[in-house]
Amino acid sequence: MQNIEDQINTIERALGERMVNHALIIVRSWLVELGEDNPYEHAFTDIQQRYNDLFSDWLSTDDPEREDTLDRLTGDTYRLVDAVYASIRIKRGLSPEMHGFNGDNPQSIMHYFSSCVSFRESDFEWLRTAADDSSRSSLALIAVAAIAKNLRECFSEQAFYALIDCSCASSQVVAQQCLANVMLLLAHYDVRIDFFPDLQNAFMEAVGDGESAFETLVALVRSTKVSLRDLIARQEITQDDMPEELRNLLGMTGEETDISSIASWVPASETEYMSGIVQILPDTWVYTALIGDNSERRAVIAMTYLSIGKMDLIWDHIDRASAYLVQKLRKGKGEAIDYINYGHCLMLQGDRMMAFENYRQARMMCKGAKEFYALFRPDRRQLVDRGVPLEQVYLIEDQLFSGN
């Protein structure tokens, strides 16, 4: 039997390209596994027939609305996939078949919202109520964190809408936590979200002018360079700022932790996940929705990326990047990636000698060639695209590790 993670990944890739029939092949195998009495046969047959009709029409006519029809059909296929996927997880013992929780017990809340794959509307009503009740906000935080982790594994429109609703909660901490998680999930499901316009509209209505959401976005990017220990040392937060149950849920043990200064808490074990989201963020719908053509926000987010060592958004503004890096290095706060980035700036400004000195400084700060190359080589293409001959890039790398 094919691994279920491989199956769902195949479906996500197929539907991202609107290859409905390709996805339905796997769904069909799931329905066989569920047996003849499964409740999804009608929906499956309906989608299959609509897709076949659409293809037949394409062979003979030019319908200007065909693209919109295919988008809606793809969205409906996603919904069928989600429902069947949840049932398959239960059948294979990967998720418990459970309903109900003790709304006064943190462990019960955590277990239910992180494990359940078929929520009820009453679950989300409880969350909305708790989010607006200051005496229960810590319980709401636990539920929000658990739902967000659950959603990454098992997509649920209802759960998504609930988090969006609670991003307007009267509790600022809960609202900010919901907003941060919604944006991470929108980026995580970027291709899929294109086929859920109502969800996009709900998000945009919730964020209004987007200023608070943009600040949260900046904090999420910046969070990849901040540790919980550092924030505590600077007395920006204390352990008492969070309920013990939530700290335990998120694995906050004082190790390097992705965390924003505005209550966007991400566990230490998920540093790689957060870094991946930050890497793809500029290409996502939520990034475009919040920044668009706003030059001021573009400048802020570009400098925020630079502050965590990523040149991604500022290659065409080398003078600004150079000025920022000079100040940082003069203060003695530079890391290897900062010397590499400043070396890039100098290379593009024509000062090859000083560029090499900065690259050499970065090399000495790295534990070895592998660590240095992991920082340097992703930028090769950007250097070449901006006029640095590839042979010069190779020459730099060769000299840095030739022992000279």
The predicted structure's pLDDT at residue 105? 94
What pTM value is reported for the model?
0.84
How far are the Cα atoms of 312, 344, 357, 372 from residue 379, in angstroms, in the given order?
9, 9, 18, 12
The closest alpha carbon to 70, from 21, 124, 3, belongs to 21
Per-residue pLDDT 10s for the chain (404 aa) are 568 999 999 999 999 999 999 999 999 999 999 998 999 999 999 999 999 999 998 888 888 888 999 999 999 999 999 999 999 999 999 999 888 999 999 999 999 999 999 999 999 999 999 999 989 999 999 999 999 999 999 999 999 999 999 999 999 899 999 999 999 999 999 999 999 999 999 999 999 999 999 999 999 998 887 544 444 444 444 445 444 444 544 444 444 333 343 334 445 556 778 888 999 999 999 999 999 999 999 999 999 999 999 999 999 999 999 999 999 999 998 999 999 999 999 999 999 999 999 999 999 999 989 999 999 999 999 999 999 999 999 999 999 887 54
205: tokens are 């209505």
Interior CA angle at 169 toward 165 and 174, to 5°?
100
Q: Helix or strand or coil: residue 136?
A: helix
Decide: residue 204, CB within 10 A, 0-12 exposed, 13-18 middle, 19+ buried.
middle
The predicted structure's pLDDT at residue 240? 52
CA dihedral sign of residues 256, 259, 265, 269: negative
Per DSSP, the residues of 310-356 read --TTTTT-HHHHHHHHHHHHHTT---HHHHHHHHHHHHHTT-HHHHH
How far are the Cα atoms of 257, 353, 381, 382 from residue 389, in angstroms, in the given order?
39, 16, 10, 11
Cβ distance 259 to 226 under 8 Å?
Answer: yes
Q: What is the widest separation between alpha-carbon atoms in the chain? A: 73
**Which helix (DSSP H) or strand (DSSP E) does residue 181 occupy?**
helix 172-188
- Distance from C-alpha of 25 to C-alpha of 228, rounded to nearest angstrom: 46
The predicted structure's pLDDT at residue 256? 38
- As a 3-state breakdown, the chain gives helix, strand, coil percent values, each rounded to 5, of 70, 0, 30
The predicted structure's pLDDT at residue 32? 96
String of b and e for 233-251 (b: at least 16 CB within 10 Å)?
A: eeeeeeeeebeebbbebbe
Residue 44, sorted as left (phi over 0), alpha (psi -120 to 50) or beta, turns out to be alpha
363: tokens are 């090399």
CA dihedral sign of residues 334, 339, 342, 344: negative
175: tokens are 């609202």
Instruction: State the CB neighbour count (10 A cutoff) for residue 54.
Output: 15
User: How is the chain split into domains, by residue range?
Assistant: 4-91, 106-283, 316-400
* CA-based R_g, the chain, Å: 24
The predicted structure's pLDDT at residue 62? 81
The predicted structure's pLDDT at residue 231? 42
Instruction: State the CB neighbour count (10 A cutoff) for residue 55.
Output: 12
- Distance from C-alpha of 198 to C-alpha of 344, rounded to nearest angstrom: 43
- What's the one-letter identity of residue 30? W
Cβ distance 301 to 368 under 8 Å?
Answer: no
The predicted structure's pLDDT at residue 229? 42
